[in-house]
Chain A
Amino acid sequence: MSSIIPATSLTAQTIAEKVQSGEWTALETLENYLTQIAKSDAEIHAFNTVLEDEARAAARAIDERVALGEDVGPLAGVPVAVKDNLCTKGMRTTASSKILENWNPPYDATVVKRLADAGATLIGKTNMDEFAMGSSTENSAFGPTRNPHDLTCVPGGSSGGSAAAVAAGFSPVAIGSDTGGSIRQPASLCGVVGVKPTYGGVSRYGLLAFASSLDQVGPFANTVRDAAIVHEVIGGYDPKDSTSISEPFPSFLDAIEDGVEGLKIGIISELMGDIDGISSEVIQKTREAATLLSKNGALVEEVSIPASLYCLSAYYLIAPAEASSNLSRYDGVRYGLRVDGETLAEMNINTRTEGFGDEVKRRIMLGTYALSAGYFDAYYGKALKVRRLLAQNFDEVYSKYDALLSPTSPCTAFKLGEKTSDPMTMYVNDVCTIPSNLVGHPAISVPFGSGSDGMPIGVQILAPPMQEALMYRVASTLESAEK
């Protein structure tokens, strides 16, 4: 099997220290990554756009500031790859859709701005499933991304380009968005760390909306600590996002090495065999992770989240319902593609029919249907009640436990084309990650060994809202025990 995995990878923490101290320059650091991209991205296709010139200019500016003795920030000279659904001012932002193929946003997403303010260099925009709808990055209008561990396999999705970019050594860290697992599942399949923050913890300003009550932006990294460093940079209150949490979060880094001694950790029993389609190998790995945590002093027990049995159905009613509303803005009037028609309605129809791919059309129609008169109560209404039950289940479990453990993805990376003919088969990939999105809680996927096919397996740690510090602590323990 053909793979493109670097022998060693630098951490963002190391890069920032060396650049800030003047030992390395931001420019030479960037050039090393650009060389990797030039060498191998034709095979992997992690990027829709590589921002060579813009990144070089940013790197030079950072080196000048270091020379002047300025403190550049926690990501001094660290290249960052950003998913192509986050707005970058004057730089193409496509969501991997034909409808936005040539769109240059007039503003930066808050996350993009905060990365730049922290000294990061934006190295490129990464490939994704169109409008973040998918679990394999095969729904990109510009062709799929391949898994760096095996080029015949998918990287997962929808943030597959960001996950692949970190795994292939194209960028030390990356940014994705997670609506039902779109950061954690590709992180698991590519053998990197991926985090979905607490809903409201990271600004959605400038994130192209898919399902607004579920979407959250988060980091990919090679280490848990790097993920926490990037998360601290992009997180925090933003007045431009009306759902942004104004209370400060406890530091993600201060307690990261405090271990798990005395913590109570629950394993979600429904995701350990009750729900069909989760491979025994993945379940076995998750049990090994549980054993490791108890060896490190945690109390680990099975717990029940009964409503998780209904999450997949609830999610695939709620997310399409919100998407059908959010994507009505792509009408050929103000920006993006326009395909002409005699009347306004014809122009709208021509534009959307030509501009959207099949999966986006399916979800728009499913959502429109779930919200339509006569079906609203049976589908959307019921799904929202399942969501309430789920939140109650989590509240009850968190009254006795500090954090939870489960698989991230039900399987290791699958072959390109293996699951594209049947949408429901593809949707099942999200079964372990969806619950956190429905309730808005944080969760992380940490690499934890590999399967019999040699492909990476990740385990997931879930924590109560705003308890990322605890989540990173448990993840860091697993990471160091695994190494």
Chain B
Amino acid sequence: MSLMTEPISEKEVAHVAYLARLRLSDEELQLFTKQLGAVLEHAKDVEALQLDGVEPMSHPLPLENVTREDEVDEMLDRKEVLNQAPAVEDGRFQVPQILGEQP
């Protein structure tokens, strides 16, 4: 691995962690940068392939939209579902303040 071009920088890992809503300590940032770098280094074999004109395949089956009649079926019990929530108020999921928050 060339020391000049690391596959991924600490700055990039920190940004990705933020996007994925994860907080990393300084030691974790260093370790994960090294480990993710090793995986991306391995992936250079794929990056280097000439694949122009090859159709990407995102799924093993030819997917079709699946629909059904709009009929009432067995449903999850509202109380049982809310029972598993960390915080509930008035039959709804409760979360900390959203309005006024920085994006």
Contacts and interface: CB of A to CB of B under 8 A. Distances in A.
Contacts of B46: 310, 313-314, 317, 379, 382-383, 386
B91 interface: no
Contacts of A103: 84
Contacts of A474: none
A3 interface: no
A362 B86 contact: no
A464 to B, nearest CB: 12
Contact of A338 (B13, B55, B87, B101): B87
A106 B77 CA distance: 8
A344 B93 contact: no
A105 B84 CA distance: 8
B4 interface: no
B42 A317 contact: no
Interface string B1-28: 0000000100011001101111100000
Specify which of A335, A348, A389 lies most central, judged by the most chain B CB atoms within 10 Å of its CB. Answer: A335
Nearest to A103: B84
A324 B84 contact: no
B42 A316 contact: yes
Contacts of B84: 103-106, 334-336
The secondary-structure label for the interface of chain A is helix
Contacts of A9: none
A199 B63 CA distance: 12
Interface string A135-161: 000000000000000000000000000
A213 B45 contact: no
Nearest to A316: B39
Contact of A388 (B23, B47, B55, B87): B55
Given A383-B46, A384-B57, A423-B39, A372 B86 contact: no
A118 interface: no
A107 B80 CA distance: 10
A106 B61 CA distance: 30
Contact of B22 (A342, A346, A364): A364
A352 B21 contact: yes
Given A379-B43, A385-B56, A422-B38, A364 B20 contact: yes
Interface stretch (A34-42, A66-74, A239-247): A239-247
Contacts of B23: 349-350, 353
14 contacts: A105-B84, A242-B63, A243-B63, A310-B49, A314-B46, A317-B46, A335-B86, A337-B86, A338-B86, A344-B95, A353-B23, A361-B20, A365-B16, A465-B60
